[in-house]
A = this chain, B = another copy of it.
Amino acid sequence: MTQRIREFLRNRREDGPCMVLDLEVVRDNYMKFASALPDTRVFYAVKANPAPEVLHMLATLGSCFDTASVQEIEMALAAGATADRISFGNTIKKERDIARALALGVRLFAVDCQAEVDKIARAASAADIDDAKVFCRVLCDGAGAEWPLSRKFGCDPQMAPDVLEHAYRQGLEAYGVSFHVGSQQGNTEAWDSALAMAADVFRACGERGIILSMVNLGGGFPTKYLKDVPAVEAYGNSIFNALRRHFGNRIPETIIEPGRGMVGNAGLIETEVVLVSKKSEADEVRWVYLDIGKFGGLAETMDESIRYPIRSERDHEGEKAPCILAGPTCDSADVLYEKQPYMLPVSIEIGDKLLIEGAGAYTTTYSAVAFNGFPPLKSYVI
């Protein structure tokens, strides 16, 4: 909660939940990444929060952009990024979207199988483009992450040299390797085993005469929710040491893709208590219903994965007691925290405002278009 956000909310008159993001915090985060990993290029993961003001400020600061779709590429370009600073980082792309990205000047693409390489090769060839680059994403176990990744993205490391060789033979530049250690990764050492794997892929490709240049270290840098998280410098040191350990004095070009770590702590959501009730007189736990829920922007509460800090103006009033927190929709799945109830003040009342902190990432765009007729989450960037 910054002073600027506090003042903004004091003057806000509109109804309904909103997310307010302080650009100065984003600037500060960018600077920390840049100084913690001075030889690494920062590709901001646009999907975390694509607000034009965020993209524009990061573009001005010199950031590059990791994008998931042609729409996100267009947003980054509109914010002032040049195409050479944009990566099409989704491993799942329609061939016509690849063609559009190439036409917009983008040359860097993620792949995790030969079929995706074929699409890029065909689209590049059709447009007479001979400098398209691909990096191959490899699977990584994600231990230590709060929002661990499934096997959806990446191939087994043993398959990566085949994918990269295939790209090379199709006339693309086999540029490097990427991985993702899992979102909200609390273990600064998590990059070590992934970098060992990346070095293996570099060696296997080298034996086939293919010289890779780049390791994409992915995202995973945490934002502070309920628990403290290590500082960015600790991640920087640990990554640098792991690079030295596995690549010796031939350290490759590196990039990182922070999303949550760039904007998470810059934003918060203001929400209103709509109802406080019990299911029976004997119930010990209150149900507290908010005007935002799983379908209004808090999708990451799925399986109670991300536990946001929640503040109330009554926090100082003494006693707290457990609550089940739920959203306002007529969907029984729209319950935020039940298995592990939240402690909130006993004195909490209908109409109270609560602040959900660390909500700058993965909230606004997740919001449902009109479920139950509720409008999508409002966003203010200040």
Residue A276 lies at the interface, judged by CB distance under 8 Å to chain B: yes
Rounded to whole angstroms, the CA-CA distance of A350 and B370 in the bound complex is: 31
Q: Within the complex, what minimum Cβ distance (angstroms) separates A325 from chain B?
A: 11
List A residues 321-353 near B (Cβ within 8 Å).
Answer: 326, 328-335, 338, 350-351
| Residue from B95, B279, B302, B366 in contact with A139 in the complex, judged by beta carbons closer than 8 Å | B279
Cβ-defined contact, A373 with B115, below 8 A = no
Q: Which residues of B contact A149 (CB under 8 A)?
A: 332
**Known contacts A113-B278, A115-B277, A272-B94; is-contact A332 B373 (Cβ 8 Å):** no
Q: Are B115 and A280 in contact (CB under 8 A)?
A: no
Residue of B nearest to A273 (CB): B94
* Number of residues on chain A facing chain B (CB within 8 A): 78
| Stretch of A3-11, A62-70, A167-175 that contacts chain B | A62-70
A236–B95 CA distance with the chains assembled, in angstroms:
50
Residues of B within 8 A of A45 (CB): 330
Pick from B70, B159, B276, B338: contact of A280, CB under 8 Å: B159
Instruction: Report copies per complex.
Output: 2
Interface mask (A137-171 → B, CB under 8 Å = 1, otherwise 0):
00100000001111111111011000000000000
Q: Once the chains are docked, how many angstroms separate the CA of A107 from the CA of B274? A: 20
A133 at the interface (CB under 8 A from B): no
Q: Which A residues lie at the B interface, using CB under 8 A?
A: 15, 45-47, 50, 67-72, 75, 89-96, 112-113, 115-116, 119, 139, 147-156, 158-159, 272, 274-281, 287, 289, 291, 295, 299, 302, 326, 328-335, 338, 350-351, 364-376
